Structure 1
């Protein structure tokens, strides 16, 4: 049984690694090299494509936009989500279930359904073609997921800890800061990692709200490398590799917290 499981895992790893290796190798090729030997090694291992995409195509500007949008979106979503989760845990059971169900409804409505009214709202409020607009939309769209994970974790915290803080005279806000937040660090790290991946890779909302070049994020900017009749794949893949590096590095740094938080954040009935 273990041998079969090992074979299945090995095949799964190869299915993932082979296309990934092909993508990375293509970034060191020219267009002619790619078409002459799509599966072969590059003739030279120069960083020409990476230099070109940064210096000539201004990828660092789009990178900065993505950093701004993702950082503020994740930080504010964690703040509002943890406050909401604490409130839902401290409410009476009936109101807690009603409030929790309200946020869950947000996960069942596809973003495409709200596309037209959402664009109309953003246009009338002057939030199109702005990083602030993307931040606001990201917070609204990811709040249900943050509340789901954080509420599930905070329900596992012993109520006696909250009651002890109340007996000591702590207000709800102090209890949230001194009790709920310190105990929720693994869950916050897991939720933050998940939200960062969603926000960093989001293409739908930038494509819907951003038309000016200076406000494009990385996923939207990478679309510019796809021409009508031909696509510069080595340049495009170089942008994909560069845009993926922050997510990969962050996951390796917070991998332990991510696994602990997801394991502890299961919703209990």
Structure 2
């Protein structure tokens, strides 16, 4: 009884720790700057949508949305394609070879992206892709590839080997086995991985700050920095932008929640 009560208290505290910052963001987005400094954590005096209107009137937010959608969607789709092919090659390369290949990609998870900032910038500059969404997408794909391969390889190992062997006996080549059998059976796992990647790429600030300088190529997280001045910060407008940027993440999670949970469960059970 005591153990159950302690667990519920811990769960309640954990829930409050997650919900409290979200409520603070929402409440602040309905305040003016004087109201915020007068009562930073209190309820807004009224539900005024002035900040939401102003953020779209004062900034080309639709362009920033388009940039973020382009980079995120392109990165996630190409990442799933490349990582899926590599993961399938790993599980079809034999136990020892596949283990070495997966270990090689897993080693890439040990190197923080910040360590490679200078080499990445020099390489992208040599290609002429600085200040471009293409260069930003290429960097995102390459840096997330070890994580994606690690996840999908573990997921694909849960596939029944008998199905792939039956396909091989029927004369299907490796490409057909991958596209007609492995990928369809891994649809929940691909959806779980895509949701995970979507959150990472959509919220990424490091590489846009490193590679993007022109205002027309700003992504949403980078665009929010425009509300931070040298001496003052417009917190109501900044947190209004945070609320707007978070809406697509909420929509994606609502639609992919079932796949995300099933994929996470499969990965944990496999591990």
User: Into which bin does the TM-score normalised by the smaller protein fall?
Assistant: over 0.9
**Match among 52, 67, 87 for residue 85 of structure 1:** 87
User: Is structure 2 residue 167 aligned with structure 1 residue 165?
Assistant: yes
TM-score, normalization by structure 1: 0.97
**Match among 107, 110, 116 for residue 109 of structure 2:** 107
CA drift at 1:19: 2.4
**Match among 205, 211, 215 for residue 209 of structure 1:** 211
Residues 107-126 of structure 1 show CA distances to partners (whole Å, capped at 9, x for unaligned) of 11111111111111100101
| Structure 1: 4+ residue segments shifted above 3 A | 266-269
State the partner residue of 1:143: 145
Do 1:85 and 1:147's aligned partners in 2 also have CA atoms closer than 8 Å?
yes
Unpaired segments ≥5 residues, structure 1: none
- The 3-state SS of whatever aligns with 1:106 is helix
State the partner residue of 1:174: 176
CA drift at 1:79: 0.6
**Is the deviation greater in 232-241 or in 148-157?**
148-157
Q: Distance in 2 between matches of 1:8 and 1:89?
A: 40
User: Is structure 2 residue 5 aligned with structure 1 residue 9?
Assistant: no
Q: Distance in 1 between matches of 2:95 and 2:88?
A: 13
The alignment yields a C-alpha RMSD, in angstroms, of 1.3
Q: Distance in 2 between matches of 1:132 and 1:264?
A: 34
Q: Distance in 2 between matches of 1:85 and 1:254?
A: 22
Residues 25-46 of structure 1 show CA distances to partners (whole Å, capped at 9, x for unaligned) of 1111111111112232222211
User: Is structure 2 residue 192 aligned with structure 1 residue 198?
Assistant: no
Q: Distance in 2 between matches of 1:150 and 1:15?
A: 31
Do 1:152 and 1:266's aligned partners in 2 also have CA atoms closer than 8 Å?
no
Unpaired segments ≥5 residues, structure 2: none
State the partner residue of 2:23: 21
Q: Distance in 2 between matches of 1:39 and 1:110?
A: 35
How many residues are aligned here? 269
Residues 198-240 of structure 1 show CA distances to partners (whole Å, capped at 9, x for unaligned) of 1000001000000100001011111111111110000000000
State the partner residue of 2:129: 127
- The 3-state SS of whatever aligns with 1:127 is coil
Q: Distance in 1 between matches of 2:153 and 2:26?
A: 40
**Is the deviation greater in 91-100 or in 213-222?**
91-100
